[in-house]
Amino acid sequence: MSTTTLPANEAERLAALVGYEILDTPPDQAFQDLVDIAAAACDTPMAMVTLIDTERQWVKAAVGMPTGECRRDDSLCTHAILMPHQAMVVEDAAADTRFRDNPFVHGGPRIRFYAGAPLVTPDGHALGAVCVMDVQPRTLSPRQLGALEGLARQAVAQIELRRAYRELRHHASERAWYEGQLEAAQRSLMEENAQLVHATLTDALTGLPNRRAANLDLQHVLETAGADGVPFAVAIVDIDFFKAINDRHGHPVGDVVLREVAQALVGRAGPNVRVARLGGEEFVVVMPATTLAAAWAKCEAMRAAVEGAEMAHPVTVSIGIAAGTSGDDVPALYARADLALYRAKQGGRNRVVSMEADGTASTSSGLTG
């Protein structure tokens, strides 16, 4: 451990870690849920909950990385616990003098990006970290960093709960009260987890599902309806000349327009049709168990609803539809829908263009903007 800088309170920190009796414990679904949420929230292939022992890093839960332990000298999290009141972000480990010679950086899995939020106990001891990693340089948005720090607090709450439960066994006369407190805290943690999961799948501006949620939804349709030969379709909706609204009136007005268009689309979606925001001025409509003709009629109703909506700054939309087939994948569907959308724009905008699964035929509403 000669190359590892130690926290100023290392002796007390190690005593606290031992006192929690969490090292070398069996896998735990609550901690696995936390790393799954961390990877989803930060959009990284790897995430871990780690604990820093005297000479080793021990992994309580992981996704994209093996559990077990490694030398503390090789741990990136041992550096994170030196800053217990803030997350440590390393945008490119290969360019950081602290880590460029680390075996996990220059060898497998060739970590380039790392972000770790310390697990800080109520007494101020940093036991380890909730961390996310990627194989390419990158950074996190403030929202993602806040989610990572929130998950670290939840991990500490789980550790505290387990110690409380052990103490509960030594106080049988107070069992009912302690169990009530434990259950209430557990329910609160589960609610927070559910909210974090929801946040990773929701567009903050419109309240619609986001691109990640749409991709998961579309993948599910491909694996079910497509495999059984049931027709389905996907459409991409683009607000016509939206950039001019932002340029002329400013982004706050553009945000209002995006919310109003989202409401109009959802209002005509109907049952089993899911509308999500892809990003910018684009939305996606996933239509399971829907023929191309029915999808065209549905999207034409959405187009008309947007055109007829009462808005401070009226807009229209162009829509491209792709028919799905069992041999499709998500990128292929998006590509065909994008091509149909391009033809809708080329044809004058404010119209619906659909494309067959083989990509050779299309139809247009013939509307003019």
Residue 278: Cβ within 10 Å count: 18
Q: What are phi and psi of 325, to 5 degrees?
A: -145, 160
- Using CB atoms within 10 A of its CB, is residue 91 exposed (0-12), middle (13-18) or buried (19+)? middle
Chain centroid offset of residue 211 CA: 10
Q: Which of 183, 281, 310, 356 is catalytic?
A: 281
Compute the distance between CA of residue 333 and CA of residue 108 in angstroms, rounded to an integer.
34
Tokens describing residue 350: 């404010």
Chain centroid offset of residue 133 CA: 14
Instruction: Let me know if 149 is a catalytic residue.
Output: no
Catalytic residues: 281
